[in-house]
Amino acid sequence: MKTIESLGDLKGKRVLVRSDFNVPLDADKNITDDGRIQAALPTLRTLLDAGAKVVVVAHLGRPKGEVNPDYSLAPVATRLAEVAGVSVTLAEDTVGESAKAAVAAMGEGEIVLLENVRFNAAETSKDDAEREAFAAELAALADVFVSDGFGVVHRKQASVYDVAKILPSAAGLLVLKEIESLGRAITDPERPYTVVLGGSKVSDKLGVIANLLSKADRLIVGGGMAYTFLVAQGHEVGTSLLEADQVETVKGYIATAKDNGVELLLPVDTVVAPYFGADAPATVVASSAIPADQMGLDIGPQTRTIFADAIADSKTVVWNGPVGVFEFEAFAEGTKAVAKAISESDAFSVIGGGDSAAAVRTLGFDESTFSHISTGGGASLELLEGKVLPGIAVLEG
């Protein structure tokens, strides 16, 4: 894969950088987790130190191709200036007069952040010609392109894919680190190799499960998706989250795991409540005896121990998805136990972005105790599925 070094001397050159600044905001537009901004700094500093004029293109939320002030990158510009220690100019548009003027006025070692690229419908258009035309407008603002938004490399979008075909292009340091870390866990894992899957839906991870049943030594399943597995085993799950249309598929996975010698660990006890809420009264029951009027919201204490022991016995651990509703204190212990076990393990560990990364930070864990925390939930899942990512493929060769 082409690296920044392959672009040659960048002094005075305009470098378009695709970053992923899709950070969570509270009601007052304050950033609640700046992990993705922090992750972008190594690439940005490398370019700034080289004397480049750095033009950053990024998205926030899903404004659906229309200008929406609720999704402005203004909070990101403020935070980026604070953590990067340089002035950051926010253009009022992406490729319009404001963007052109801001880039034209740039000096070496400065940053211009273009306004939310998803304010432009062409960015995510399924029409190749429409996307390519928009990519050409982006490319006109720069001399070279650096792809560093790992969270979007699984998308065939103008600022990710098409612009890389127009300008001399390279992968940024974050993308290289993500590919190297996830690649190590996927293609050549030290064994025992354990994958922990959580989150709400089995359907979100069907491809991952199918691929890992031929690769992993142990598959741990928690979170909302575990209840579909429990039903596939013949248990009742009360009012717990259930994808009834996936039960037969999951039965097939259970059989395949057995045939392949993959150890499948499911919750043996569950923390249930009569409704979904932070104040819901919690009770621990056996996973085989969930009452009809209760829903599972976390793994129980016995399961925490079983999962933690399995993680401690591993040399490679990949974790994608919380195993309970960690946002509610009463139902955070399971996710906390998984995070603690991984952080204390000697295994090479990859936290697969999205809610898992948020959980690690929200629950107060030292990020340095994990080998790698991915910035891309969807992208890391597709890599785990064995898919080719458009935004990576276009940088190769």
Q: Which residues are annotated as a binding site for substrate?
A: 20-22, 36, 59-62, 118, 155
Annotated binding-site positions for (2R)-3-phosphoglycerate: 36, 118, 155
- For residue 51, the one-letter residue type is G
Give helix 35-49 / helix 74-84 axis angle, nearest 10°: 60
Q: How far apart are the first and last CA of the chain?
A: 6
**Which entry of 201, 315, 361, 387 is annotated as an active-site residue?**
201
Residue with tokens 């680190």: 177
Let me know if 354 is a catalytic residue. Answer: yes
CA 124 centroid distance within chain: 19
Element (H, E) at 351: strand 348-351
Annotated binding-site positions: 20-22, 36, 59-62, 118, 155, 205, 296, 327, 353-356
**Which entry of 51, 207, 378, 386 is annotated as an active-site residue?**
378
Question: Vertex 385, ends 381 and 391: CA angle to 5°?
Answer: 65
Let me know if 201 is a catalytic residue. Answer: yes
Rounded CA-CA distance 222/324 in Å is 7
Structural contact between residues 268 and 302, judged by C-beta atoms closer than 8 angstroms? yes
Let me know if 45 is a catalytic residue. Answer: no
For 100-132, b where at least 16 C-beta lie within 10 A, e where not — what string? eebbeebeebbbbbbbbbbbbebbbbeeeebbb
Three-state DSSP state, 148: coil
**Which entry of 352, 354, 376, 377 is annotated as an active-site residue?**
354
Annotated binding-site positions for ATP: 205, 296, 327, 353-356
Rounded CA-CA distance 212/160 in Å is 28
- Which residues are within 8 A (CB) of 316 and not within 5 positions of it... i.e. 6 or more apart? 184, 185, 189, 190, 191, 192, 193, 194, 347, 348, 349
Rounded CA-CA distance 165/157 in Å is 12
The phi and psi torsions of 263 (rounded to 5 degrees) equal: -75, 120
CA 375 centroid distance within chain: 4
**Which entry of 13, 18, 36, 218 is annotated as an active-site residue?**
36
Structural contact between residues 38 and 76, judged by C-beta atoms closer than 8 angstroms? no
Rounded CA-CA distance 17/14 in Å is 10
Where in the sequence numbering do the catalytic residues fall? 36, 201, 354, 378
